[in-house]
Each structure stands twice: as C-alpha cells, then as structure tokens.
C-alpha cells in the first residue's frame, strides 16, 4: 500500500488539515495530491526518482509530500533553514530530479538547485501559486496513487549529523504506515481533532 492512500478512506467534506491557507477537506486534498502527482509524472518524474521538498509546516508540505509519494517517487524533505552549502552537499548525495517548494522557500531552493546537477526543475505543488514559480500540477487529474510494496522506499530523511556529516536514512512505505498505525493506536481520534499543518 502506498502511504498516500491514507487520505483515501475519509469523507470528502471532512477537514483533513487546517493551515495558514485555511481548512482543507479530504476531497480537496485528494484533488491537489492527484494534480501534483500527475504534474510530476508529466515532467518526467518516474517511480523511485527522488524529489526534494523544501517547505515549512504548511499546506504545500503536505500536498508536496503526498503528491510525490502518489507519483511513486521518493520524497526527500529538507530543512528549509539548512544553509545552501549544506543543502547542496546533502542533496548531491541523493540526486533528486526535482525540488518542490513552499511559500517562502523559492529563492533558497533555486540557489540550492544551481549546485545540484541532478535537479531538472523547481516548482510548487498544486494549490500554491508563487510569482516566478512553475506550479507542478495537471489540473483535474484524478487522485490515483501508484501501487507500492511495504518494502518500497518512500522517503529519505537526513540525520542530524551529531556524529559526523548528516546521512540520508531510508524509510519504506511499510515503515511510515507502521508509524502512522502506532500514532492512531496511541492517540486515536485526538489526531483527527488536532490535524494542523
């Protein structure tokens, strides 16, 4: 099961996240995720390609992360506060083909992209329009996450680097789904009541 499927079984009119952009329903979230996934595929992103995500805690982070996973790609979230030389060093080690950005990260992402040879484009996920940025979306594309096995790689998260340079730690779809199940088992409906981006 693809991690992006976790937004499938909810009522379309129910609030999925509440962010700076206001409440977003599951139906609207699925639409944005489908449009972003299709936009990535339309720009040549293939399953198992790596897509960096540079966004603060905002709607664009959720849509970019889920859209990348729905496209079958591996998401590489990067701390937006990472200095450009550090970000370039980290991303050069994992060779992402694209960078998706949040509302205040476009300039930083472009500076980073110039130092990472594998990056083909920088853009925003569906639902976020920024002056001078390409929105990576295919309007009206259906929400249809590609299939993923439990052991398929889903994300690369950089370690803190306390004992050396930060390294990319791999998490599978199964790892992320197990973590989500543990949170649900522990916190139950409180997670739904407090869903904020």
Q: Which CATH architecture fits 14-190?
A: 3-Layer(aba) Sandwich (3.40)
Per domain, the residue ranges of the chain are 14-190
The percentage of the chain sitting over the pLDDT mark of 90, rounded to a whole number, equals: 83
Give residue 192's pLDDT band: very low, low, confident or very high (50, 70, 90).
Answer: low
Percent of the chain having pLDDT more than 70?
95
Cα(32)–Cα(128) distance, integer angstroms: 10
Q: What is the pLDDT of residue 42?
A: 98
> For the chain, how far is it from start to end, CA to CA, in angstroms?
24
97, 48 Cβ separation under 8 angstroms: no
Rounded to whole angstroms, the Cα distance separating 54 from 13 reads: 29
Q: Is the pLDDT of residue 145 over 80?
A: yes
Q: What are the beta bridge partners of residue 158? A: 168
Tokens of 107: 């300039």
pTM listed for this prediction: 0.92
* CA–CA gap between residue 173 and residue 75 (Å, rounded): 11
Band (pLDDT 50/70/90 cuts) for residue 163 is confident
Stated length of the chain: 197
**Which stretch of DSSP H or E encloses residue 88?**
helix 84-94
């Amino acid at each position: 099961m693809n991690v992006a499927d976790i937004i499938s079984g909810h009522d379309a009119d129910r609030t999925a996240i509440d962010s700076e952009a206001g409440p977003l329903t599951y139906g609207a979230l699925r639409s944005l995720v489908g449009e972003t996934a299709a936009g990535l595929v339309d720009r040549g992103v293939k399953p198992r390609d790596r897509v960096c995500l540079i966004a603060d805690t905002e709607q664009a982070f959720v849509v970019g992360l889920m859209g990348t996973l729905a496209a079958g790609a591996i998401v590489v979230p990067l701390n937006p506060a990472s200095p450009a030389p550090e970000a370039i060093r980290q991303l050069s080690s994992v060779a992402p083909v694209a960078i998706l950005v949040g509302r205040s990260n476009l300039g930083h992402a472009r500076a980073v992209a110039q130092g990472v040879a594998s990056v083909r484009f920088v853009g925003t996920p569906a639902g976020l329009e920024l002056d001078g940025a390409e929105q990576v979306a295919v309007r009206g594309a259906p929400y249809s996450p590609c299939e993923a096995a439990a052991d398929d790689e889903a994300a690369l998260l950089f370690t803190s680097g306390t004992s050396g340079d930060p390294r990319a730690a791999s998490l599978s779809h199964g790892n992320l789904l197990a973590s989500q199940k543990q949170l649900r088992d522990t916190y139950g409906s409180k997670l739904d009541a407090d869903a904020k981006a």
